[in-house]
Amino acid sequence: MKTCITYYSRTGNTAMVARTLAEELGADIIEIKDLKDREGFLSSFKSSIDAMRESKTRISPGKVDMDDYDLIYIGSPTWAGKPAPAVITLIDTLNFMGKDVILFTTMSRQGGEGVIERMGEKIRARGGRIINSFMIKTGGKELIEVKEDTLRVISEKDLLIYES
């Protein structure tokens, strides 16, 4: 089974989860970049509004080919209880027909359920099958703790079973 981890990260937490997954599962990894400036307090506030509105954004790479993958992980930070605009844009460009998908989100404290739910709705509407999901709380944690939490989730959710 060929697996790809696809994610967007602004602060590095979602990137840590994605890199840990890729290392442990032997998966390919694709980082999605948002071409809109999302740094600083004002940009962070505007980003939350964009997330609540499910605004589209320009991403890089602009086109992602998932044809060769059987299993796709998609990860997003939680912004105001919604997925990041870069992830919404990515999902809206992919063909998930016949693909198994595992969703993950990072969140400071709460709101991850809404992210998983919304990503799942959009992916199912595009033909994908959600087979698992998880959330990692990152508030007040160092990146090494985020990595340890991810390793724990891999074990608890038995994510290695999908790689056989």
φ, ψ dihedrals at 55, nearest 5°: -65, 145
Rounded-to-integer distance, Cα 116 and Cα 82, Å: 8
Instruction: Give the model's pLDDT for residue 161.
Output: 83
SS3 state at 57: coil
User: Is the model's pLDDT at 33 over the cut of 70?
Assistant: yes
Prediction pTM value: 0.91
User: Is the model's pLDDT at 135 over the cut of 60?
Assistant: yes
Q: What range defines the domain where residue 97 resides? A: 3-163
Number of domains in the chain: 1
**What is the CATH classification number for the domain harbouring 155?**
3.40.50.360
pLDDT tens, 78-109?
Answer: 988 899 999 999 999 999 999 999 999 999 98
* Average pLDDT value for residue range 113-117: 95
